[in-house]
Chains A and B, each alone.
Chain A
Amino acid sequence: MAKRDIPEINAGSMADIAFLLLLFFLVTTTMDKDQAYIRSIPKKIDLPPMDNKVQERDILAIKANNQNQLMVRNSIFRDPDKISDFILKFYQTNEKNNDVANNFPMYSTTSLSLCDQNMALLENQLEEAEQKGATDQAKFFQSSYEEWNKKKRAIQLYGKSEIRELSVQAHIRIEVQQGTAYSIFAQIHNEIEEALFELRDKECNRLFSEQYSILKRRTAQDSDPKDKDKLALLEILYPARIIEVTPKN
Chain B
Amino acid sequence: MSKFKKEGSGGAPAMNTASLPDIVFMLLFFFMVATTSKETDPTVEFESPTGTKTMDLTPYKQRSEIDFLYLGTPRNPNRANAFKMGFALSLDNVVQATADGLYPTNAVGRWKKDKFSQKPARMSAPIEAVITCLKADKNAPSGLIFDIRKELQEIEALTIAYSVRDKGNI
A22 to B31, CA, bound (A): 8
With a CB–CB cut-off of 8 A, which chain A residues contact B36?
29-30, 33
Which residues of B136-158 are within 8 A (CB) of A?
A: 136-143, 145-146, 149-150, 152-154, 156-158
A30 to B85, CA, bound (A): 30
B44-59 vs A, CB cutoff 8 Å, 1 = contact: the mask equals: 0000010111111111
CB distance from B56 to the nearest CB of A (A): 6
A1 within 8 A of B: no
B27 within 8 A of A: yes
A217 to B143, CA, bound (A): 33
- Residues of B in contact, count (CB < 8 Å): 57
- Residues of A in contact, count (CB < 8 Å): 52
Q: Which residue of B lies closest to A249 (CB)?
A: B143
A29–B31 CB distance below 8 A: yes
A19 to B17, CA, bound (A): 14
B163 within 8 A of A: yes
Q: Which of A11, A26, A40, A179 contacts B21 (CB 8 A)?
A: A11
Q: Which of A25, A43, A194 has the most CB of B within 10 A?
A: A25
* Chain B residues packing against A (C-beta within 8 Å): 17-18, 20-21, 24-25, 27-28, 31-32, 34-38, 49, 51-59, 61, 71, 85, 131, 133, 136-143, 145-146, 149-150, 152-154, 156-166, 169
